[in-house]
Amino acid sequence: MTIIFHNRHEAGRILGAKLIKYTNCSDGLILALPRGGVPVAFEISQKLNLPLDICLVRKLGVPGRQELAMGAIALGEVKIINREIVNWLQISPQIIEQVVAKEKQELERRDRSYRGQRPFPVIKNKTIILVDDGIATGSTIKAAIAALKQQKPRKIIVAVPVAPPIVCQELATEVDQMVCLSMPNSLHSISLWYEDFSQTTDSEVRFLLAQAHQKLFVNS
């Protein structure tokens, strides 16, 4: 089944309906992969009345071909390398480390920008719903899963609007539940599955996180 979404917010509302059993889950926490995953996750958090935060991960783009991921990194010294891509393009360990060093700086910048002084939420024994706006190779989401598993959550659910079937099958073996609305065999680019795939800005991420936090505070 394939679906074209109007934008990330619409995709999040549809996903929220698929996750309705987690509404008001006492140990529930929604974590978005910035930046594109935040508008999707925001709508899910509104629907389920669950707190929203971010799980920072950076794709390791192939030099000169940034859209192609050779791996990903996450906070906590997590590093996932896609050996198939690295071997195919004969990328040296030195090049990989240069890209890792650059992306670590961006990871830390985003952490300061988005979270400010707020500490990272407690993950242990929580039911985590991990959200992105789509999955291509799976490197980024795998790095996020690896980082979360270090903190021993009770359960991890991955929820995305679009991803290839083979990636969904792989991820289903790593998490407790995999929820994907559209699984095209030929993904090509995540942007093709949205009418509006305009870039999510840093300021939009901060605004949505603040809105979600404010609503939860008012309701508590």
**Rounded to an integer, what distance in angstroms lies between the CA atom of residue 146 and that of residue 25?**
23
Other C-beta atoms closer than 10 Å to the C-beta of 191 total 13
Q: Is the pLDDT of residue 220 over 70?
A: no
- Kindly provide the residue ranges of all beta strands, DSSP E only, lying in 85-219, ordered along the sequence: 127-131, 155-162, 177-182
Answer for the pair 42, 211: CB distance below 8 angstroms, yes or no: yes
Predicted structure pTM score: 0.87
DSSP letter, residue 199: P
Q: Is the pLDDT of residue 153 over 80?
A: yes
Residue 177 lies in a domain: yes
Residue 29 lies in a domain: yes
Residue 83 lies in a domain: no
- Bridging pattern class, strands 177-182 and 57-62: unpaired
Answer for the pair 82, 137: CB distance below 8 angstroms, yes or no: yes
Residue 26 lies in a domain: yes
Residue 65 lies in a domain: no
Q: Which of the residue ranges 11-15, 43-47, 135-139 would you say has the lowest mean pLDDT? A: 135-139
Answer for the pair 171, 158: CB distance below 8 angstroms, yes or no: yes
Q: What is the predicted pLDDT for the residue at 216?
A: 62
Rounded to an integer, the average pLDDT of 94-114 is 92
At 158, phi and psi to the nearest 5?
-95, 130
Confidence of residue 110 (pLDDT cuts 50, 70, 90): confident
**Rounded to an integer, what distance in angstroms lies between the CA atom of residue 105 and that of residue 155?**
30
- Bridging pattern class, strands 65-74 and 57-62: antiparallel
Residue 143 lies in a domain: yes
Q: What is the predicted pLDDT for the residue at 105?
A: 92
Bridge partners (DSSP) of residue 59 are: 72
Instruction: Give the up-direction half-sphere exposure of residue 25: CA atoms within 13 A in the CB hemisphere.
Output: 24
Domain tally for the chain? 1
Indicate which CATH number applies to the domain containing 213: 3.40.50.2020
Q: Is the pLDDT of residue 212 over 80?
A: yes
pLDDT digits (tens, 9 = 90+) for 34-65: 999 999 999 999 999 999 999 998 889 999 98
Q: What is the predicted pLDDT for the residue at 187?
A: 87
Q: What is the predicted pLDDT for the residue at 19?
A: 98
Q: Tokens for 144, please give them.
A: 């996020």
Q: In what order do the strands lie in the sheet with 177-182?
A: 52-54, 28-32, 127-131, 155-162, 177-182
Q: Is the pLDDT of residue 159 over 60?
A: yes
> What's the domain range around 208?
8-57+124-219
**Rounded to an integer, what distance in angstroms lies between the CA atom of residue 81 and that of residue 93?**
11
Give the residue with greater pLDDT, 76 vs 170: 170
Residue 147 lies in a domain: yes
Confidence of residue 76 (pLDDT cuts 50, 70, 90): confident
Q: Is the pLDDT of residue 111 over 60?
A: yes
Residue 167 lies in a domain: yes
Q: Is the pLDDT of residue 219 over 70?
A: no
Q: Which helix or strand (DSSP H or E) is residue 65 part of?
A: strand 65-74
